[in-house]
Amino acid sequence: MQIIDIAQFEDGFVIHLATEDRRINAYTLASMLIGLADAAKAANSTINAGHNIEIVVEALGPGSFRARIRAIYDTAHNLFSNQAVQVIILGIITNFIYERTLAVHQDVRVEIQTDEVVVEHGNERIVIPRKVYDGTRLAETNPQFVGAIGRTMESLSNDQHITGMAFVPHMDSPPPDHVIPKDAFSQIVPSVRDEGNTRVIEENCDLQIVKAILERNHRKWEFRWRGVKISAPVLDQQFYTEFFAHNIRIAPGDELKVNLLIRQTKDEETGIYANVGYEVVRVFEHIPRVQQTQLTQVTTH
């Protein structure tokens, strides 16, 4: 019986990539690390209100290729900071990936107990602390978390030299018993429509409004998306109907939860896709910017 204990990966893990020659393309490594960091931040915002997380790479090594990842937490000093931090974010990421890649099999057995959850398939057994299992259920409701994991797996899937991946607790750990094969990565990769050297990706995400164009046309709004400034038209006509009915009031700094269509083209020399255009296909929710209110002092006589 091959046993994977998710408790080993709650505050750090070594990602093990099965490769042909014990090295990795720099673009693949960078895309993978950015995806993992984005996923950790998204999960942390859901699980640990009032606490920040930083993902650091402590070491790189062979075996086939390995990277040691660790999470560092600190307090954001806001109203939620007195909540105890849950040091489980990296455990949530590993659990989500293992769960999703096992979901392709029909004979998966899940046993939910008070302190842990056991997932079995064939001779593979995943033991998940209950707090990590429950945290995964919360994190997967955040589209940013799911999208970031999808981008991570997509970057690995696009590298022809990578044949599989796994997680091990230490840099000198022996080769893992269970390696996720490359053909299982598709269980997590986001929806992509290929059109030769161009492709279209759809992603549910949050956009911060920088400049709004409140007219029914294809003029482009300005947003911040994953820290990057982008321009995109808003094509959701129902959203405009709600605005003109005065059910929504828009201001810079507000956020929209949307379905974002991303157009990409491939560089022939590197094989790397670059974003060349964006469209907001649907607006799910408008989130007004948080306004600070002035506190008035009350005196008693």
Q: What is the DSSP letter of 256?
A: E
Of residues 202, 68, 187, the one with CA closest to residue 143 = 202
State whether residue 34 is helix, strand or coil: helix
pLDDT(130) > 90: yes
pLDDT surpassing 50 at residue 5: yes
Phi, psi of 35 (to 5 degrees): -60, -45
Is the confidence at residue 267, as pLDDT, over 80?
no
User: Higher model confidence: residue 191 or residue 5?
Assistant: 5
Report CA torsion sign: 168, 173, 176, 180.
positive
Identify which has the larger pLDDT, 7 or 204: 7
Domain ranges of the chain: 2-190, 194-287
Asked if pLDDT for residue 293 goes beyond 50, the answer is: no
For the cut 90, the answer to whether the pLDDT of residue 285 exceeds it is: no
Flag the least confident range among 3-12, 51-60, 94-103, 264-273.
264-273
Backbone angles phi, psi at 63, to 5 degrees: 125, 45
- Kindly tell me if the per-residue pLDDT of 135 is higher than 70: yes
Using a cut of 0.95, tell me whether the model's pTM lies above it: no
Quote the strand ranges of 51-197, DSSP E.
51-62, 65-75, 109-112, 116-121, 124-129, 162-168, 180-181, 192-195
- pLDDT of 295 above 90: no
When pLDDT is averaged across residues 143-170 and rounded to a whole number, the result is 88
Q: Which fold has domain 194-287?
A: OB fold (Dihydrolipoamide Acetyltransferase, E2P) (2.40.50)
Angle between helices 26-47 and 89-102 (to 10 degrees): 110
pLDDT tens digits for range 181-235: 888 887 776 655 555 678 778 787 889 999 998 887 788 999 998 888 999 999 8
- How much is the average pLDDT of 252-268? 86
Please tell me which of 4-13, 78-87, 269-278 the model is most confident about, judged by mean pLDDT: 4-13
Average pLDDT of the chain is: 83
Range 59-88 average pLDDT: 78
